[in-house]
Structure 1
Amino acid sequence: MMLWKQKLHRNLLLEDENGRKLLARTVFALAIKYLKEDLWVVSNDRIANAVLQNEIHWVLTVPAIWNNAAKQFMREAAEEAGIESDMLTIALEPEAASLFCRHLPVEKSGNQFSLASLRTGSQYLVLDAGGGTIDITVHEVTESGGVKELYKASGGAWGGTKVDASFEEFLVCLTDKSVVKKFKQDNLDDYIELLRRFEVKKREIDPDKDTKVVMSIPLAFFTTVKKRLHKDLNKAVKKSFYSNSVSLSGDKLKIDPAVAQSFFKESVDNTIEHVKDILQKRENRGVEAILMVGGFSESKMLSKAFKRTFPTLKMILPDEAGLAVLKGAVIFGHEPREIVERISKYTYGIAMDPYFDSRMHPKSAKFTDNAGVDKCKNFFDKHVIAGQSLRVGEAQSEQTYATTPSHKSTVHIEVFATESKSPVLVTDPGCRKVGQCTIPMAGTGAGRKVLVNMIFGGTEFDVECTEIATGKVSHITIDFLL
């Protein structure tokens, strides 16, 4: 979640629960390396010498709401973990889940209604509820049986960990902020074990049941309360805000159902409101079903809230919804072209200084170059507009750029993005630089031309550059981690 909604760079630091810092890329790389090596050990145990390491193509899944910098960060972490770049595909989690459920036989979907039964042109909303994020996209079934994105991915940090945060806040209300902080600092293993126990209970909490939630509390928590508050946990509970709805029996904490259900309120309310807003958009009015995937979708608090709120829509909740992304990622690795269209989240363009045109350029951007020619400084040369449908694997734009006297042997390109559909200058409010690249040119001299095709449809950027004089084609990766 640290990769979401913040300025990313290669030296980003992560803090652990106790405030110690380490390079984020190192943390991600070590996690990926562990999974990579574990797969290798298990596969060799089961089918020794049948698979070579260089034969494995890896698929790394990321939330659809992540930006290009976050995807690039994950790719570089995977490369640091020993995965070759050309043997790695980045997949968007809701798309992977959607592919899996499209391949799921009707009789195995766990529902009377399944994605496999949807006809061409049918529209459905994918709700990928994971631990950190909740990703929401709208898909349509194509004639070929593939999937195209109908509405750009959106969502927020309302996943299962938001419920965990509410539970931790509940512990603070029972005791004190200093107690929970000290418990976490001195007994991290016990703290993690407590969250694991809560994770099990979390899946059992049901809005239609009035049974109490009973959880055993680690001994270290009792000790911490005694040391910090100079009274036992039982007395602390009785004097807390929850004195009438929570009780302690031995090491068991008994929580009234209404209190347990309240842990889900912020997450469920935010998710439902966001889905309501999406379904009201003109382009989404044909949605006839909601596909719920991701581990948090298995929560009855979330799934039943959706059934009550959207009674006219068909609900699809596959068996083992938490594995839908994983299994779909395998399908995506074999058949990436089953996702045929995506929607651009932003308007993308390149900064340039064209000849000044008073009909389209603001006077404030006018300047005269060394040759005495009037030009427009920092013009936003659009390649793709926000909301535009992008065909996967096809160039969405084609522009010609030329070397300048100061860059005779290279063409330097700076890529900008904005949510606005009609930016004029790259300095307009909301515009930000998202990447840059330098294109080497054969020979020297100003005015040498290069044709630039930006291919946006894939999960990652591809820039194809053709030097017009020589016909030489090169693919350049945009660097989003500036």
Structure 2
Amino acid sequence: MVVDCGGGTVDLTTRTLLPNNKLSEITERTGGLCGSTYIDREFARFLEKKLGFAAVDKFRRENYGQYQSLIHHFFCPRIKFEFIDEKDVFRNIDLDIERTCPALIEYINKEIRDAIEDDDWLIEIKYEDVLTMFEPVVEKILNLIRDQLASSKQRCSTMFLVGGFAESPYLVKKIRDTFVSVVPIITVPQNPITAVLSCMDLTKQQLPLAFSP
């Protein structure tokens, strides 16, 4: 099974390797709107609860470059691709609004602004906050995999996780923990973002050497 965890969608297909070194698709391709950008949306919802929907929405529309910088230079490297499901080792993360996204300040109403200003423009992001961002999206992915496994009459021996979202240690851990008793090998390529798993690639004899468990 190939689980392509992209930005917008997650796409799945299951194939079997035939004796003549060709592939045969044994299930219908499936997919869903649960890629990594939906984690970004959950982060935005977190900010909306803290700062008000109107403030974050206007900031996103009128300062899209700074909003994208907030996502790609703060949220992704510090949270989305670092988070693991280990509460004991998690350290709360401070979002410094004044430094990271100063344009956002002008859209916050006075009551919230006064409270945030008292906290030196810092928003504390806790373990439970991040878990809430991940859970609804990851659960959709797990359900897609369950459905794909159920639709096959053959046992799945190997699952490849590819695409940018496969760099998330939390997602990989959840998939492995959930399906380890069903799929013997669940592996991620060394460069999941650039992995090209076309039918031609999968038929190469070097396939087992191209991936690390």
The interval holding the TM-score normalised by the smaller chain is 0.7 to 0.9
- Structure 1's 234 and 299: CA in aligned 2 closer, same or farther, altered over 3 A? farther
Is 1:323 the counterpart of 2:212? The answer is: no
1:224 corresponding residue in structure 2: 107
- CA distance, structure 2, for counterparts of residue 261 and residue 289 of structure 1: 28
Structure 2 distance, partners of 1:264, 1:172, is 17
1:130 equivalent to 2:6? Answer yes
Q: Which amino acid aligns with 2:19?
A: E
Pairwise CA distance, 1:175: 1.7
TM-superposition CA deviations, 1:348-399 (whole Å, max 9, x none): xxxxxxxxxxxxxxxxxxxxxxxxxxxxxxxxxxxxxxxxxxxxxxxxxxxx
Indicate conservation of the 8 Å contact 2:2/2:14, yes or no: yes
CA apart distance, 1:185? 2.5
The 3 A distance-change label for structure 1 pair 236 and 254 is closer
Give me the whole-angstrom Cα distance separating, in 2, the residues matched to 1:337 and 1:189.
39
String of CA shifts for 1:75-125, please: whole Å, max 9, x gaps: xxxxxxxxxxxxxxxxxxxxxxxxxxxxxxxxxxxxxxxxxxxxxxxxxx1
Aligned to 1:164: 40
**After superposition, what is the alpha-carbon deviation per residue over 1:261-308, rounded to whole angstroms, capped at 9, x for unaligned?**
21011111011112112212352x411121100010111121000111
Per the alignment, residue 309 of structure 1 pairs with 178
* CA separation of 1:147 and 1:177: change in aligned 2, threshold 3 A: same
Query: Structure 2: how far apart are the matches of 1:317 and 1:131?
Result: 17
Please point out which of 4, 20, 31 is paired with 1:155: 31
1:178 to 42, 54, 61: 54
Aligned to 2:19: 143
AA aligned opposite 1:322: I
> Does structure 2 retain, via aligned residues, the 8 Å contact 1:213–1:260?
no
From 123, 127, 130, the counterpart of 1:257: 127
Asked if the contact 2:163–2:195 (Cα under 8 Å) also holds between the matched residues in 1, the reply is: yes
Q: Where does residue 356 of structure 1 map in the other structure?
A: none
Tell me what 1:368 maps to: none
- Aligned-residue offset at 1:213: 2.9
Q: Is the contact between residue 174 and residue 236 of structure 1 (CA under 8 Å) also seen in structure 2? A: no
Contact 1:129 / 1:135 at 8 angstroms: preserved in 2? yes
- The reply to whether residue 205 of structure 1 matches residue 76 of structure 2 is no
CA distance in 1, matches of 2:18, 2:114: 60
Alignment of 1:424-443 (within 5 A): none
TM-aligned CA deviation for residue 215 of structure 1: 3.2
Letter in 1 for 2:85: P
Total equivalences in the alignment: 195
SS at match of 1:286: coil
Counterpart position of 2:95? 215
**In the alignment, is the contact (CA less than 8 A) between 2:82 and 2:169 conserved in 1?**
yes
Assess if the C-alpha contact under 8 Å between 2:32 and 2:144 holds in 1. no
- Contact 2:96–2:121 (CA<8 Å) still a contact in 1? yes
Matches within 5 A, 1:291-440: 291-312=160-181, 313=183, 314-325=185-196, 328=197, 335=200
Is the alpha carbon distance of 1:142 and 1:219 closer, same or farther for their aligned partners in structure 2, counting shifts above 3 Å? same
Change in Cα spacing, 1:337 to 1:224, as seen in structure 2 (3 Å) is closer
Runs of 4+ in 1 over 4 A off after TM superposition: 335-339
TM-score, scaled to structure 2: 0.82
After superposition, the C-alpha distances for 1:412-448 in whole angstroms (9 at most, x for unaligned) are: xxxxxxxxxxxxxxxxxxxxxxxxxxxxxxxxxxxxx
Letter in 2 for 1:198: F
Answer 1 or 2: which has greater helix percent.
2
Contact 1:198-1:215 at 8 Å conserved across structures = no
Change in Cα spacing, 1:231 to 1:264, as seen in structure 2 (3 Å) is same
Amino acid at match of 2:146: K
Task: For residue 336 of structure 1, report the CA deviation from its aligned partner.
Answer: 8.6
Distance 1:210 1:195 in 2: 20
Task: Rate the CA distance shift 1:232–1:337 in 2: closer, same or farther, 3 A.
Answer: closer
Shift of 1:251: 4.5
Structure 1 residues 146 and 250: alpha-carbon distance in aligned structure 2, compared to 1, 3 A threshold: farther
**Structure 1 portions without partners, runs of 5+:** 1-124, 238-247, 340-482
Q: 1:336 to 1:268 in 2, by over 3 A?
A: closer
Tell me the secondary structure at the aligned position of residue 166 of structure 1. helix
- In structure 2, the CA distance between the partners of 1:140 and 1:216, relative to structure 1 (3 Å rule), is farther
Matched-pair identity in %: 24
User: 2: distance between equivalents of 1:216 and 1:268?
Assistant: 27
Deviation of 1:254 (Å): 2.3
* Greater length-normalized contact order (CA 8 Å, ≥ 6 residues apart): 2
Mapped to 2, the partners of 1:203 and 1:126 lie a distance apart of 21
* Deviation at residue 140 of structure 1 after TM alignment: 1.0
What root-mean-square deviation, in Å, do the aligned CA atoms of Structure 1 and Structure 2 show? 2.4
- 1:104-115 correspondence to structure 2 within 5 Å: none
- Deviation of the 1:133 alpha carbon: 0.3
* 2:136 corresponds to: 266
Q: Extract unaligned runs of 5+ from structure 2.
A: 205-213
Q: Relative to structure 1, is the Cα distance of residues 200 and 253 closer, same or farther in structure 2, using a 3 angstrom cutoff?
A: same
